Each structure stands twice: as C-alpha cells, then as structure tokens.
C-alpha cells in the first residue's frame, strides 16, 4: 500500500507548539496536554493517562492479534532550583545528561511554587570579562560555578523567596526555535521532533481514511531523559515496540540531518534483530531515505521497557539531530522520512 501524503505544514506547526511548551522531565505535563489536545482531533483513538503522567493512545487496527507499540518522549532536559544564594541568584541541579556550557547564556523560566513564572538567564557566576578577566575562560562549568540571574529586582535570598521561588522549583531553558531552508534549529528537538512525526503519521493515515493493520499503542512518555520513561504503560499482549527518538550525528556516525536512522545498537546493547530487519525492508520497499547506525552514548525508552521486563521485540528509528543535548538542529527531510517510516510500520 502506498504511503499517504504527509502534511508537512501540520508537522512543523505541531512541532513549533511542542517546542514552545516548556517540559523538563518531572514537569512535562504541559507538553503531554498539548499532544493530548492534538490527538483529540482524530476520532477513533482512545486516550488515557498513566498514573505516572504519560499519554497512551490506543488506535484499533484491522487486526488485534499482535498489537504494536510506538513511543516518543515529550520531556526534555532542564533543571531544578538547588539553592537560593545569598545574592538572590539561583544555583541549579541538572535534569538529564548535558554539559553546562551547552546552556551558558541561555534564557530560562523558573516555575515558582506559587504559580509565578520568573524569567532569567543561566550564566557563569563570574560572567563579566571586565571584572574577572581570564577566569571567564578558565572556570570549570560545574554546578558551583553556574547560576541563574533573575529578571526581577532581588539582591538577597529573602527577596528571591518573596518572588515565590523555592528549592525544587523547575527551570526550563528557552528552545530558541528558528526554521530556515528546511533546517529546524532548536533546543529539545530530542524528542519533540519525533512526537511531531507520530502526530503527522496519525494525521496522514486519518486524512487518507486508513487505519493501522494491527492495533497501535502510541505512548508519549514523560520521564525518558532520566532513563525510565516508557518502563510502564503498555498492554501485556503487545508484540513489538518501536521507539522513535533522535539519531546521533558526529564524527564516525552514518546519521545525518536528511535521513532517518535505524539504530541497531547503543549503550544498552543491540536492538531486536528481527524487528530491525523488518524496518530495513519497509524502508527499502517504500523508498524511505535511511541509514543504519550505532550510538556510543545513548539509551532509549525501548530499552527502558526491556529493563522493566517488557517481553517484546524492540527497535529504534529517528531523524538525524545535529549537536544533540546542545543547540540541536535537524532538517524537514529527516522528519518526513521518519514520519513515512512510522506510517509504513503501522500499515505493514
């Protein structure tokens, strides 16, 4: 069956909404709600939230003897307030695996416990070249040397507390989205790009009046960046699980911003060979631009489900994302390739 047309405008619009909805792990409910709102437009999908806060959409297929899962995550890297300093500035603790230099100078929002949203930016504690000279270059970017400068009149811990800010408040870094010549440059393309691909796949099938060949479980997880996102939330009768997450680019990698990648091994070891072979064949049969790759420092929600005891075949595909867990970038070509691959899998 030919793959129906992808509505790229919808894909980009949906991705833009998701990227502009802050959702650090542990505080991802806004993005989960945005996905729920988007999926509600497609009758026939049954929507549920897990107790942990993930979104699970069940889409009846023409058959139901081997249900298929697909998962992508709506949570992102971020931080929490670790300490309020005597200067009124904030010391943070990171959520997820990244280096402080990747967000140095970035705008951020603190979600205060009283409901206020306080803007600020993440800076080196000794940020001014005119005051600290060579230390601006030399200071190690660690938890002690980075701080949030709040865009609010405070010069003491007391004044910061009066803004409503407390230890444990979530902090989200600005996505800084820009789209040029098909390139999508933004933080948090990991993994909102793939959530948008899943939604575009649902829309393409829906618009073409098609349904999955097997009942599909779309699982939008909210704790992936800390390793246990999709550990739960699937029915026991599910036969296989396709994790849809960004591909890692760089020296020695086959992945790029114009292809979708089949990852056959990452830090968690090899993925399921049989399911990986099926996906390879689907890409070949449908002319989907793809490469096969191995990611040296990477774990996925598919493995989270395996580690939790999930007895299913697991494979991983996704669009190439440059500078992952940094200021990321991909191209529409990779997003369309990933979406088409998801559709081919759903129809197979």
Residues that bind Zn ion (CB under 5 A): 190-191, 245
Q: How far is the CB of 248 from Zn ion (least distance, A)?
A: 10
Q: How far is the CB of 66 from Zn ion (least distance, A)?
A: 26
Nearer to Zn ion, 170 or 223 (CB): 223
Catalytic status, residue 224: yes
Nearer to Zn ion, 121 or 324 (CB): 324
Continuous H helices in the chain: 8-19, 29-39, 129-132, 135-138, 157-162, 189-207, 273-286, 301-307, 332-347
The answer to whether the CB of 92 falls within 8 A of the CB of 49 is no
Q: HSE-up of 199 (CA within 13 Å, CB side)?
A: 30
- Measured CA to CA, the distance from residue 121 to residue 96 in angstroms comes to 19
- Measured CA to CA, the distance from residue 343 to residue 200 in angstroms comes to 9
Closest CA to 336 of 320, 324, 316: 320
How many residues are there in the chain? 348
Query: Which residue reads 């030919």 in tokens?
Result: 2
Q: How far is the CB of 226 from Zn ion (least distance, A)?
A: 11
Which residue in 5, 159, 224, 251 is the catalytic one? Answer: 224
Nearer to Zn ion, 71 or 286 (CB): 71
Nearer to Zn ion, 302 or 310 (CB): 302
The answer to whether the CB of 109 falls within 8 A of the CB of 30 is no
Q: How far is the CB of 74 from Zn ion (least distance, A)?
A: 10
Catalytic residues: 224
């Amino acid at each position: 069956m030919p793959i129906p047309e992808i509505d790229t405008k919808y894909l980009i619009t949906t991705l833009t909404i998701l990227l502009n909805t802050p959702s650090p792990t542990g505080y991802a409910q806004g993005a989960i709600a945005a996905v729920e709102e988007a999926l509600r437009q497609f009758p026939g999908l049954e929507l549920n939230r897990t107790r942990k806060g993930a979104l699970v959409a069940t889409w009846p297929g023409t058959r139901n003897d081997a249900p298929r899962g697909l998962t992508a995550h709506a949570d992102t890297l971020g931080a929490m307030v670790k300490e309020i300093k005597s200067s009124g500035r904030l010391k943070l603790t990171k959520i997820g695996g990244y280096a402080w230099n990747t967000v140095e100078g970035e705008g951020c929002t603190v979600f205060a416990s009283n409901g206020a949203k306080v803007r600020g930016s993440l800076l080196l504690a000794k940020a001014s070249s005119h005051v600290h000279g060579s230390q601006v270059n030399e200071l190690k970017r660690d938890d002690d040397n980075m701080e949030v400068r709040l865009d609010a009149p405070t010069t003491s811990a007391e004044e910061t507390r009066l803004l409503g800010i407390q230890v444990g408040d979530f902090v989200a870094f600005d996505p800084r989205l820009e789209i040029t010549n098909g390139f999508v440059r933004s933080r948090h393309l990991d993994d909102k790009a793939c959530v948008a691909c899943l939604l575009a796949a649902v829309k393409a099938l829906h618009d073409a009046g098609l349904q999955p060949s097997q009942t599909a479980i779309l699982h939008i997880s909210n704790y992936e960046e800390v390793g246990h996102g999709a550990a739960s939330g699937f029915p026991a009768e599910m036969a296989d699980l396709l994790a849809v997450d960004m591909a890692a680019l760089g020296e020695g990698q086959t992945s790029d911003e114009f292809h979708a990648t089949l990852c056959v091994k990452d830090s968690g070891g090899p993925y399921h060979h049989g399911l990986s072979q099926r996906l390879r064949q689907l890409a070949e049969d449908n002319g989907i631009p793809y490469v096969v790759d191995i990611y040296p420092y990477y774990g996925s929600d598919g493995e989270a489900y395996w580690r939790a005891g999930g007895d299913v075949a697991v494979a991983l595909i996704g669009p190439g994302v440059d500078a992952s867990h940094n200021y990321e970038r991909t191209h529409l070509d990779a997003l369309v390739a990933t979406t088409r691959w998801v559709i081919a899998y759903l129809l197979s």
